């Protein structure tokens, strides 16, 4: 009834049509104003992205969304490993930062111990694809760090386990203190991740000899750290000792060992925090005293000898004689060699005799990759 009444009233009808004419005009004004606003905002944001980078736009928004001291609010922020390994700390700053240790021994969260695989390389990793296969499916149990010549620019795809795992590096030379510096730099960077419990030093010519779970269990389950350390009475051992090392290092404590170590977090901290032995070795162990064969084995023997297995877990072939171990190329990779690397192993593991002594092997040239890739599933278990 009322509907009909309304529609019959001409005044109402007229006022209505005038209203609908006024409304679009206001709406249009509002729309234009809104459009202009949008336009200026997008211009401003394009300008800001171009000149300050995307991050700054995002971080400049953040403080309004979160309270100022949000960094301190959850434990997550303390235990999360750094997302960007390319920091701007100097070695001095880095080593100080890495040497910070919690006094409360029990972790207030479920800490799954990780192994830090630290690659000390000149440039590329020619055996990367073999390592990729080895790591596949074991996320959360390992972290990777690469120290290469600073001039080398890595170009791993974002799907690679090696993607953005380069640490700030400096030139290092074999047999010189700069080599130990590089190793300490790797350790210090790896220490920044609180979940890293064991630290393995590897080169670009190393391969793993077992599947990931076997190697993980062997290393994590070991009471001792695998640092080669022996007392060599000959000219290449004690013969390299210098009396100026006293009183810090007595000749009876002088040790020699392979550079390729595996150590736990405690020993990694001893190495990174060291200011007592470092000056002595850097001053009095110069070629023909090859410092990378003596500094860590000797220093750790003095500081924590009872924690060392005194053997390396990296297999190397000295059978060809000479000053350098054998390098295996494509034609050397045979079933015979695969078997030879596992043959006749006898050692002590956690105070028990064991036939699994070596977890890694070197040295393999880039040409060995294809043959290794084919034989790995049968002989190496990955």
Ligand X SMILES: *[C@@H]1O[C@H](CO)[C@@H](O)[C@H](O)[C@H]1NC(C)=O
The verdict on 309 binding ligand X (CB under 6 A) reads yes
Two tokens, residue 328:
């295996």
Least CB distance to ligand X at residue 380 (A): 9
- How far apart are alpha carbons 199 and 190 in whole angstroms? 8
Interface residue with ligand X among 102, 279, 305, 329 (CB under 6 A) is 305
**Per CB under 6 A, 151 contacts ligand X:** no
Q: Can you tell me which of 306, 319, 331, 352 binds ligand X, judged by CB under 6 A?
A: 306
The string of DSSP letters for 130-195 reads HHHHHHTT-TTSEEEEEE--TT------TTSTTTT-B-------TTSHHHHHHHHHHHHHHHTSTT
Contacts of ligand X in 226-255 (CB under 6 A) = 246, 250, 252
Residues 348-367 vs ligand X: string with x where CB under 6 A?
--------------------
DSSP of 25-64:
HHHHHHHHHHHHHHHHHHHHHHHHHHHHHHHHHHHHHHHH
User: Residue 360 Cβ, how far from ligand X at the closest point, in Å?
Assistant: 15
Query: Under a CB-based contact definition with an 8 Å cutoff, are residues 350 and 223 in contact?
Result: yes
Cβ(230)–Cβ(266) below 8 Å = no
The footprint of ligand X on residues 169-228 (CB under 6 A) is 210-211, 213-214, 224
Q: How far is the CB of 146 from ligand X (least distance, A)?
A: 25
Minimum CB separation of residue 214 from ligand X in Å reads 5
**Is there binding between residue 74 and ligand X (CB under 6 A)?**
no
Q: What is the Cα–Cα distance from 199 to 52, expressed in whole angstroms?
A: 38
d(CA 300, CA 253): 10
Closer by beta carbon to ligand X, 82 or else 239: 239
**At closest approach, how far in Å is the CB of 136 from ligand X?**
10
Query: Which position among 310, 312, 313, 376 is part of the footprint of ligand X (CB under 6 A)?
Result: 310
Least separation in angstroms between CB 308 and ligand X:
5
Strands (E), 265-322: 314-315
* Strand (E) or helix (H) holding 354: strand 352-354
Contact between 228 and 310 under an 8 Å Cβ cutoff? The reply is yes
The site map against ligand X for 91-130 (x = CB under 6 A) is ----------------------------------------
Residues 15-54 that bind ligand X (CB under 6 A): none
Report how far residue 193's alpha carbon sits from residue 83's, in angstroms, rounded to the nearest whole number.
10
Binding site for ligand X (CB under 6 A): 210-211, 213-214, 224, 246, 250, 252, 301, 305-306, 308-310, 381
């Amino acid at each position: 009834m009322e509907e009909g009444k309304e529609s019959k009233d001409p005044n109402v009808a007229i006022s209505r049509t005038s209203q609908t004419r006024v409304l679009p005009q206001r709406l249009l004004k509002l729309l234009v104003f809104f459009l202009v606003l949008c336009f200026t905002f997008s211009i401003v944001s394009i300008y800001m992205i171009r000149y300050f980078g995307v991050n700054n736009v995002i971080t400049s928004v953040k403080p309004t969304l979160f309270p100022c001291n949000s960094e301190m609010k959850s434990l997550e922020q303390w235990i999360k490993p750094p997302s960007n390994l390319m920091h701007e700390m100097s070695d001095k700053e880095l080593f100080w930062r890495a040497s910070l240790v919690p006094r409360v021994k029990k972790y207030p969260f479920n800490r799954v111990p990780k192994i830090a695989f630290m690659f000390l390389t000149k440039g590329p990793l020619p055996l990367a694809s073999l390592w990729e296969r080895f790591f596949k499916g074991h996320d959360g149990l390992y972290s990777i760090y690469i120290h290469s010549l600073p001039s080398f620019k890595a170009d791993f795809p974002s799907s690679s386990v090696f993607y953005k795992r380069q640490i700030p590096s400096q030139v290092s030379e074999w047999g010189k203190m700069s080599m130990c510096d590089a190793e300490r730099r790797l350790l210090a960077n790896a220490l920044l991740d609180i979940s890293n419990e064991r630290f393995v030093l590897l080169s670009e010519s190393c391969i793993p000899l077992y599947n990931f779970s076997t190697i993980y269990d062997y290393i994590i389950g070991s009471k001792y750290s695998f640092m080669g350390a022996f007392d060599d009475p000959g000219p290449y051992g004690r013969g390299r000792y210098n009396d100026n090392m006293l009183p810090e290092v007595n000749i009876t404590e002088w040790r020699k060992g392979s550079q390729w170590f595996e150590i736990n977090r405690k020993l990694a901290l001893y190495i990174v925090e060291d200011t007592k032995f470092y000056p002595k070795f850097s001053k009095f162990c110069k070629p023909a005293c090859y410092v990378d064969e003596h500094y860590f084995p000797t220093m750790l023997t003095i500081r924590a000898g009872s924690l060392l297995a005194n053997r390396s877990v990296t297999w190397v072939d000295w059978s060809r004689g000479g000053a350098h171990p054998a390098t295996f190329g494509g034609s050397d990779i045979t079933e015979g060699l695969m078997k030879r690397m596992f043959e006749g192993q006898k050692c002590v593991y956690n105070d028990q005799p064991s036939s699994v002594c070596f977890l890694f092997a070197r040295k393999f040239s880039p040409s060995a990759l294809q043959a290794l890739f084919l034989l790995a599933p049968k002989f190496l278990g990955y």
